[in-house]
Amino acid sequence: MEEILLVGNPNAGKTTFYNSLVKANEHVGNWHGVTVEEKKKEFTLNGEKFVLVDTPGIYSLSPLSFEEEVSVKLIESSNSKIVNICDLNNLQRNLYLTLCLIETGRDVCVVLNEIDKRQKYKVDKNSLEKFLGVKVLSLNAEKNFEEYKNMSFFNKNTLNYLKKVDFSCVFPYFSNLDNKNIFCIKAFERDKSFFLRHNYDEKKIEEIFSKLPKNSMEIMAKARYDFIDEVISSSCLKHDFVYGKSNLDKILLNKYLAFPCFLVILAIIFYLTFFSLGAFLSDALSSLLNIVTTPISNFLFEHLGDSFIFHLFNDAVFGGVATVLSFLPQVVLLFFFLSLLEDSGYLSRVAFIFEDILGKVGLSGKSVYTLLMGFGCSTTAIMTARNMDNKNSKIKTALVCPYMSCSAKIPIYAVVGGAFFGTSNIFVIIGLYLLGVLVAITISKLLDMTLLKTNNQTFILEFPPYRHMSLKRTGKVLLENSKHFLVKVGSIMLSMNVIVFLLSSFSFSFSYCPDGTGSMLQTIGKFIAPIFVPLGFNNWAVVSALLAGLVAREVVVSSIAMFNGIDSSATRLISESLLLPTSVVYFSSNASVLSFLVFSLLYVPCIASVSMLIQEVGKKWTIVGVIIELVTAYVVSFIVFNIAFAIEIFGWTFVLILLAFVFILLSLIFIYRFIKRKKCPFNCKNCQKKCKK
């Protein structure tokens, strides 16, 4: 079947158009770099069947970052038809890509997307068609897209600015080829990768480039932009506002108010998901689940007695799965707020603020998106690391993303932390999130100094205007995330719970042990537990819960519930059972609880994330990343356990003395380095710190 490619600038509305034509539900956001791979689906256009392909956004046919390479390879590989989607508010820059596409001689159809109600340009379609030689349509990709049925693909090759450029210096090299024009244009643009893809030698490429005039790139760009100015002045009416500038930026990008605003917004999101709204909905859901499951379990008890099958249903299915289900509101709320942030356009401002700090650590401002999405689910976040242009910083962002505590670890903090710390659990959770961010920054700095050095990194990012999310899209986001969570619980959670139950109720000689003593899991756990003695928790149940958490993090909580014999979904009951001295899952002190929480935050992420890492970064760096994570988890939880244990024994004054000691040490080191620095003897007026003296 024939393919139709959707090509255009980033953030022009290609994925919205794709969603409305094909009735799909791909991820959309007000940010450059949301779509990072191609998506295909069938659809019918005027009776014929085609395959619609959605691509990442590009600025021209010479790519800079990894996601742009994907779309350029797609365009060059097959001779399919192209639909170019342009944003009406930003026509001048979008028409540059249109001209690049029309020069190749392929069948193109131009679609103008009216995103906001207040338009910058009013277009006369007939004169545009005369200038460009292709069909021009204008519609709204989300709401009013019925005009797409008038799409027709042809190319009349009426671009007359190409005759003004003098190609005679490189023309003899390509005179025997079919499409000589494209090769001449690409030679003038000095695009080396294009010639390498078409099997030219490096020597021959250098020979061709030596014949070009010095400012050949500028000649091509100026010719195209002069043509664009001519087109726009004759066929469009222009309003005078700047696209992307708004009055909110005076507050949000102020020198002193930028950071506090960002922290306030994060604090509001955090408070709403964890404590006020999320906790209320979560309690309501767990009591609802209780009402549903208690009569069923009573019915089963009457008919099956205290047998193995009854325990299978009661503990594994009801106890394990129901606990995790009651966290559905908090997870969905977190994803909802993250997509609100995405759609508003605030993320570009965040990238602007954090670029100079993250640049010192080896990451880039564009990795802010990956790291913020890592608070939701790190599997989908790792894939968006493709929007960077430097390979080393892409690897670093992908490796560091799992340290951002993902939404699957929320049940562990709520249940285990809530049991032992009560109302001061707020501070523990905040501390854990901050610790994750700190560890991420230190590890990327370490990697930057030794293994993955970044030399020349570019940062060019567009600012979109502020937009609000429509009601239709909020409903879609909530539904999609709840469906995803329920499917995950129903499939992975259920099977893992059954496996853990079976392993903990049968010994190696396949005899049934109801208490869990002598079972397979206990022997495995007791074998591994001595490793964790310096960390404070060497209970076999805790260790096997952590092992089971390798598949998906929520399994830790459900296996804890199963070991303690809880069969309802009330998290209060689980927390109370942990405090009893007879509980199977036993923690020796509050310090060991803290170190357990830190370890569960930092150790190897779930299997889905690891497979995504292998796909993005390669086997070698995933192995390095996994080893680093294990080592850091061990070291950091060791430190935390010892400090907390020391607090418990010696009291708070000990810790204050220790902190003062560390502070004095650090300041002494800083003063020493400050005294011994090399002073510059030349006092230049405009010191740019470029001289290497």
Applying CB under 8 A, which residues contact another protein? Answer: 59-60, 62, 64, 90, 92-93, 96, 120, 189-191, 217-218, 220-222, 225, 242-245, 249, 253, 255, 258-259, 348, 351-353, 355-357, 359, 365, 456-463, 686, 688
Strand partners, 208: none
Closest CA to 189 of 86, 74, 100, 71: 100
Q: How far is the CB of 216 from another protein (least distance, A)?
A: 11
Question: Closest CB to another protein among 100 and 170?
Answer: 100
User: Crossing angle for the helix pair 540-548 and 590-602, nearest 10 degrees?
Assistant: 20
Give the separation between CA 558 and CA 411, rounded to whole angstroms: 9
Q: Which is nearer to another protein, 359 or 431 (CB)?
A: 359
Burial label, 80 (beta-carbon count in 10 A; 0-12, 13-18, 19+): middle
Minimum distance, C-beta of residue 552 to another protein, in the bound complex (Å): 38
Q: Between the CA of residue 107 and those of 42, 43, 128, 181, what are the distances in Å?
A: 20, 19, 16, 16
Nearer to another protein, 34 or 61 (CB): 61
- The alpha-helical segments, DSSP class H, found in 471-618 are 471-488, 494-505, 520-528, 540-548, 555-563, 571-579, 590-602, 607-617
Smallest separation, CB 57 to another protein (Å): 13
Q: Which of 454, 491, 231, 461 is nearest to 358 (CA)?
A: 454
Q: How far is the CB of 212 from another protein (least distance, A)?
A: 13
Please, which contacts does 138-141 make with residues 24 or more away whose CB atoms are closer than 8 Å? Answer: 138/88, 138/111, 138/112, 138/113, 138/114, 139/111, 139/112, 139/113, 139/114, 140/113, 140/114, 140/115, 141/13, 141/16, 141/17, 141/20, 141/85, 141/113, 141/115
Least Å from the CB of residue 344 to another protein: 16
For 239, phi then psi, to 5°, come to -95, 160
Q: Which is nearer to another protein, 23 or 250 (CB)?
A: 250
Rounded to whole angstroms, the Cα distance separating 401 from 593 reads 25
Closest approach of Cβ 345 to another protein, in Å?
11
Nearer to another protein, 259 or 670 (CB): 259
* The pairing of beta strand 39-45 with beta strand 48-54: antiparallel
Least Å from the CB of residue 245 to another protein: 5
Closer Cβ to another protein, 224 or 386, answer by number: 224
- In angstroms, the CA 510 to CA 118 distance is 72
CB-nearer residue toward another protein: 88 or 610? 88
CA distance 575 to 83: 57
Maximal C-alpha separation, the chain? 93
Question: Is the CB of 60 or the CB of 609 nearer to another protein?
Answer: 60
CB atoms within 10 A of CB 112: 22
Sign of CA dihedral 498, 500, 501, 503: positive
Rounded distance between C-alpha atoms, residue 137 and residue 123, angstroms: 10
Nearer to another protein, 221 or 524 (CB): 221
> What's the min distance (Å) between Cβ of 11 and another protein?
11
Looking at residue 80, its amino acid is S
Hunting for tokens 């009569």 — which residue is that?
A: 295
Among residues 59 and 337, whose Cβ is nearest to another protein?
59
User: Which C-beta is closer to another protein: that of 349 or that of 553?
Assistant: 349
For the bound state, the minimum distance from the C-beta of residue 349 to another protein, rounded and expressed in Å, comes to 9
| Least distance from another protein to the Cβ atom of residue 686, Å | 7
Q: Nearest approach, Cβ of 89 to another protein (angstroms)?
A: 8
